[in-house]
Structure 1
């Protein structure tokens, strides 16, 4: 169960006027504060696409109208990064890699280092995605060390956390999230270029999406965790985004939740019009 957040102004997210609101979370009311973070939308293309498909998607994204007050990131497969870098509208979108190596350059066949990404001009990297954790055996410590190394190399990091359905149903969800976050806390020294992506594993690629209340509950919990470990000033500025079957039909309702600062989008990011719609879901959270 979540504990009730304090009503003290120090516990509210930074804003000119603290605006506490009530939201339901697992049967309890929580005192929350409206987000003041700049909205962030990431598109994770995963291992999808062909030359023709990527060209079409880039054209669709370039022709779409997106708010300038939102940070928008596209993460193509490594093989298409150069094309996307050359042709994607840099005024609207930034680039991310989907992974990087845990250390610097060396005899690591098949890997790409954070230093190489930075040298090539890729500013962001996604780390710790559940598919990397489950399919490639990346545990909490590996993800945390990768994150720290990427940050030291000058990259911004979208660090993913989330629980499986069994973990949620067994009541161990918060223990799993605590362990994932504590590993990051132990390694990361500068949080200014970190975005936390909460991705419930049971909602990734399944078409099942957490309800706005479920998502808000976990986002508030993660912010409370960061507040206790890192202090209010960091927790208030840290962007915590939601991933898990986000699409153009459910993004607006999710964006209304106080502690949801954006999205990490999978399948819908492969459809230009859908992704543009999601980017426009920021509403008043867009910061110009």
Structure 2
């Protein structure tokens, strides 16, 4: 059985006072809870999580491929681990669009995450133009083959399918479309890494997940949780999503 995962990506949001939101999150028996704050809040969030019992896992939002070096403004996977992180989001569409990250860049960062003992949450997804052109599955296949390095396993990798056109827009694919893509991802994992990897890897859906649509999404085949953006910033919203996933 794949253990479900409710992951929150705070993006470039949150000051120290925002850590109080963790106090309002519900306990979960059947799913893990992960929050990925901006780097300034990573260590304080780890401390806050420990004070609350340690059930909330903490991750980074990106890492550099190198362990050290003259890379002003970047952060190494080892630094994230040193601050208490256990996960790191890689290849998010905003990194790909804003910073020109390629599949090869994501693969190199995935290796760095593995080197530091972090679990890589690798994001893939098509743009609106690609979606309307019927290219979704081709894009997913290309991104998977380019972004997942050899040696990827269910122990060091989580996949997050985030259709770019659904992120922050309020638009959501139909459950049939989500099921089709998630099933395709699982088949591709089997092709690339074997059936064991395919059966055990958690595949998250991301893109305008809200309390109002969470239960329907989590009831969809091959959906093992969610990567949540704006709705993860407030305990009331993220808590409702966690509760829906825990009951799925």
Which of the five TM-score ranges fits, normalised by the shorter chain? over 0.9
Q: Deviations over 1:194-253 (max 9, x none)?
A: 110000000001011122111111001100111122111110001000000001110000
Aligned partners of 1:185 and 1:229 also within 8 Å: no
Q: How does 1:165-204 map to 2 (within 5 A)?
A: 165-204=128-167
Distance between the aligned counterparts of 2:42 and 2:191, measured in 1? 38
Shift of 1:188: 3.8
Deviates more, 1:147-156 or 1:258-267: 147-156
Deviates more, 1:64-73 or 1:197-206: 64-73
Q: How does 1:67-86 map to 2 (within 5 A)?
A: 67-86=28-47
1:66/1:59 CA distance change after superposition, 3 Å? same
Paired residue for 1:268? Answer: 231
TM-score by length of 2: 0.94
Aligned counterpart in structure 1 of residue 89 of structure 2, from 122, 126, 137: 126
Structure 2, unaligned stretches of length 5 or more?
none
Q: Deviations over 1:36-69 (max 9, x none)?
A: 31110100000012333x1xxx333323322132
**Structure with more helix by fraction:** 2
1:188/1:145 CA distance change after superposition, 3 Å? farther
Distance between the aligned counterparts of 1:194 and 1:117, measured in 2? 16
Distance between the aligned counterparts of 2:202 and 2:164, measured in 1? 20
Q: How does 1:227-238 map to 2 (within 5 A)?
A: 227-238=190-201
Answering whether residue 9 of structure 2 is matched by residue 44 of structure 1, we say yes
Distance between the aligned counterparts of 1:60 and 1:123, measured in 2? 20
| SS at structure 2 position matched to 1:146 | helix
Q: How does 1:202-217 map to 2 (within 5 A)?
A: 202-217=165-180
Q: How does 1:1-288 map to 2 (within 5 A)?
A: 36-52=1-17, 54=18, 58-88=19-49, 89-283=52-246
Q: Which has the larger radius of gyration?
A: 1
Distance between the aligned counterparts of 1:113 and 1:99, measured in 2? 9
| SS at structure 1 position matched to 2:240 | helix
Shift of 1:185: 3.9
Q: Cα RMSD (Å) of the superposition? A: 1.5
TM-score by length of 1: 0.82
| SS at structure 2 position matched to 1:250 | helix
| SS at structure 2 position matched to 1:68 | coil
Distance between the aligned counterparts of 2:55 and 2:169, measured in 1? 29
